[in-house]
A and B are shown apart, each in its own frame.
Chain A
Amino acid sequence: MNVLSRLTVRHIFDKIGKLSIFSARFFAAVLRPPFETKELIKQTYEVGVRSFGLVAIVGIVIGAVLTMQSRPTMIKFGAEAFIPAMVATSVLRELSPVLISVIVAGRVSAGIGAELGSMRVTEQIDAMEVAALNPFNYLVVTRVLACMIALPLLTVYADFLALFGSFLVQNIEAGMSGSLFYHTVISSITFVDFAPGVFKTIFFGFIMGIVGCYEGYNSEGGTEGVGRSATNAVVVSSLLIILVDVLAVKLTVFFFES
């Protein structure tokens, strides 16, 4: 094994270890006062409401594109009537939760990484520490919780918009009526299609929050370090979301389908 790959493997384990310790510190702090409710609301607004536009576009496009792509094949097999059901199942189970999480992670994780990173290098976090303001509770706990609250809500919002996108395509290309689309979708999806997909985004929210905070909180090396924190936050959180999704799918199938 050459030096580079050895270094990389060590680096990965090093990061996993440090992230775990940081997460443990989060769980210890989340139950202990001070509870920064005002800051939590502000951050939830920042993560949630400020992502509305982005999530809306991505949601509609997911639904529309998936419908456009599947139409020719489904028609070839004479299964045109199943298009709404197929699109709804794929969107609710997988596409909307994962794509929305990865896209929002790009915005939120990078933002948190850069914000806390620059607070670290300009000694603002030290200043909070010295003023006995509990920066970990004020900065980290609020942001991670905000992501865990906002992401499931954004996912539900994206689910609806994706179905709307799908309906638009069906309506334009096949003249399908709104009520027919609605009834086809409602009769075909179940609790298992919808709930686990939304539920797992709580964990994805945790990942994007904790990774962004970890990278920012431990930023070093001045301005360059801030940039590195933002980049690392996006790369690590997106990767972790996708990896954890494999586990989530396996668990969903294990509990609900067998």
Chain B
Amino acid sequence: MPEKTDSTHKKLIEVVNVSKAFGENKVLQDISLSIGEGETLTVLGKSGAGKSVLLKIIVALMPPDAGEVFYEGKSITNAKEKDLNAVRKNIGFLFQGGALFDSMTVGENLNMILHKHTDLPFEEREKRIRHSLELVSLSDKLDEMPSSLSGGQRKRAGLARSIVLQPKLILYDEPTTGLDPITAGTIAELILTLQTELKVASIVVTHDLPTAFTISDRAIMLEGGKKIYDGEVEGLSDAHHDHLDEFLQAAGLDRTRRGKIIRKVEAEKIK
């Protein structure tokens, strides 16, 4: 595969004109994005907008129908398994449910990756594992099985596993979905802490706007497989686009709308 030219040299990940369809359903159409070292990008969009598919294409879990993905200028779309695995060691991936290996304890989950990819002695590995778990405040869960953790704890343990190899980039698939607002807030804070502490770049897929505002510099918005916004997070509310407005309003804890709905339901009850 050809190497990209100088203009993209600093880019960690570059997605160029990627399209993906499942049968008739065009999930992604001609999507391009890029992210530099230490940057944070949020991918917004409602459920089924192709956000998770985009993440899976970025780590080559799924091949795109068209287009290409570059990691530090090298194409990984049709890369050999060996080259791909070399790239993947630099990428952490937090799955929706944490995806902990449930036949192992939390500590073994982290150790499995360290043991496989580093030559560190046992004591050093243990130190790194404890440090990762400390970062996500789960030091006391080292010997617990994943089944005994709560949903939020599983996500945090999954996050600890994604950072144990000290990656350059972490991909988050819906990190706050299904959590109560307080836990979601803690996770958002955690992501931000990791960014400042470890200087990792992040791509966060979410439909949770408060999280997006807290953690990211830049955002893109997907709708019907197309990119309808790409820019600063602050610019989201100024960019006028029907779907974007709707999305912001729906997420903006709009009390007037709540009042409207309640009045409507009550009016129907009286009838």
Contact = CB atoms under 8 A, between A and B. Distances in A.
Query: A and B: partners?
Result: yes
A194 B102 CA distance: 41
B177 interface: no
Interface in A97-123: 119, 122-123
A56 to B, nearest CB: 27
B131 interface: no
B81 to A, nearest CB: 8
Contacts of A130: 59, 61, 88, 91, 93
A132 B61 contact: no
Contact of B93 (A122, A127, A133, A134): A127
Interface stretch (B110-118, B245-253, B258-266): B110-118
Contacts of B101: 119, 124, 127-128
B88 A123 contact: no
A132 B165 CA distance: 12
Given A130-B61, A132-B85, A123 B112 contact: no
A124 B99 contact: yes
A39 to B, nearest CB: 10
B96 interface: yes
Interface in A128-156: 128-134
A119 B95 CA distance: 13
A14 interface: no
Interface string B112-129: 110011000000000000
A131 B158 CA distance: 12
Nearest to B97: A122
A126 interface: yes
Interface in B31-80: 56, 59, 61
Nearest to B86: A132
B100 interface: yes
Contacts of B56: 126
B89 A123 contact: no
Interface residues of B, number: 24
Interface residues of A, number: 14
A132 B95 contact: no
Nearest to A127: B99
A208 B116 CA distance: 29
Contacts of A127: 93, 95, 99, 101, 158
Given A124-B100, A124-B102, A133 B95 contact: no
A133 B97 CA distance: 19
A133 B161 CA distance: 13
A229 to B, nearest CB: 17
Contacts of B102: 119, 122, 124
A132 B85 CA distance: 5
A132 B117 contact: yes
Contacts of A129: 61
Contacts of A128: 101
A129 B116 CA distance: 13
Contacts of B112: 133
A132 B93 contact: no
Contacts of A122: 97, 99, 102
Contact of A131 (B84, B86, B97, B113): B113
Contacts of B93: 127, 130-131
A132 B99 contact: no
Contacts of B116: 34, 131-133
A5 B165 CA distance: 53
B91 A133 contact: no
Given A131-B113, A133-B112, A133-B116, A123 B85 contact: no
Contacts of A133: 112-113, 116
A255 to B, nearest CB: 41
Contacts of A124: 99-102
Contacts of B89: 132
Contacts of A134: 85
A34 to B, nearest CB: 8
A204 to B, nearest CB: 26
B86 to A, nearest CB: 8
Q: Which of A122, A124, A127, A128 has the most CB of B within 10 A?
A: A127
Given A133-B112, A133-B113, A126 B99 contact: yes
Contact of A123 (B86, B95, B117, B165): B95
A133 B99 CA distance: 14
13 contacts: A122-B97, A122-B102, A124-B100, A126-B61, A126-B99, A127-B93, A127-B158, A130-B59, A130-B88, A130-B91, A131-B116, A133-B112, A134-B85
Given A124-B101, A130-B88, 4 more contacts: A123-B97, A126-B99, A131-B116, A132-B84
Closest 3 CB pairs of A and B: A132-B85, A127-B99, A123-B99
